[in-house]
Amino acid sequence: MTLEGFLDFLTYPFVLRALAVGAMISLCASMLGVILVLKRYSLIGHGLSEVGFASLSVAAALGLPPLLIATPVVLLASFAILFISQRWRVGGDIAIAVASSSALALGVLATAMGPGMNTDVYGILFGSLLATTGEDVVISAGLAFLVLAAFLLFYNRLFLITYSEDYARSLGLNVPLYHLLISALTALTVVLGMRMMGSLLISSLIILPAVTARRMARGFRSLVILSAGLSLLCFFVGMALSLIWDYPTGASVVLANVGALLLTRLPACLRGRAH
């Protein structure tokens, strides 16, 4: 594709919608990912994506509205994972593994009981550039506003809870309430992101930018800013590659994030060889 053809492609409404939704989802996922990665809870994105796959598969098999089914189910699942990990005194990874495996099995059963691996289920797994609508843009803008507002209004409290829950409790902070807030925002980000990235790839938007930025940041604030910036940059690079070479959007964005992570590792590898 020539540069002129690429620029013409950017004038299509569905491409503009995908760019807007993808940028806002990438921003939300990367900022929330900072907290989840630092608290070693990053795999919750993977677990919730499996729950989202199950709920969307059931909705597709029964002919029900996907978002109306997936949103409350994934929200409840995020709260259940949080409750199990805190009240039953098991590791967060165990709670996530239980939710992930059981939801995946339910999703496969729903697919088998329905019409099989049809276009709807394929879109759930791998996402679709054409799936974004004007309604998605509005909802994504609302979610982005909530995430940004949470970081701006509760920045100091989120910082304390991320690095030392005991110290935060000693200052009188309601730590469980902030856990619920983070879980709810993560669940909403996963549900909306699955429409374009797919359930198999959405968790990478939560993990990779934060992990990459962590190698360069010197503090919590710089980590949040770098993670958000890298996520947006990798999204636009992946989106451009998918448009130019007709690659799947979700996979292109993920590989762009993986490339950024490898680039941050390169200087250390070169120093190691030099010694």
Give the pTM: 0.85
In the chain, what are the domain boundaries?
Answer: 3-266
Region class of 63: left (phi > 0), else alpha (psi between -120 and 50), else beta: left
State the Cα–Cα distance between residues 177 and 18, nearest whole angstrom. Answer: 33
CATH architecture of 3-266: Orthogonal Bundle (1.10)
What are the C-alpha distances in Å from 49 to residues 164, 192, 249? 28, 10, 17
**pLDDT tens, position by position, 176-187:** 888 888 888 888
For residue 190, give the nearest of 99, 262, 275, 263 by alpha carbon: 99
**pLDDT tens, position by position, 102-149:** 777 877 777 677 655 554 566 666 777 666 778 878 888 888 888 888
User: Residue 259: CA atoms inside 13 Å, Cβ hemisphere, count?
Assistant: 11
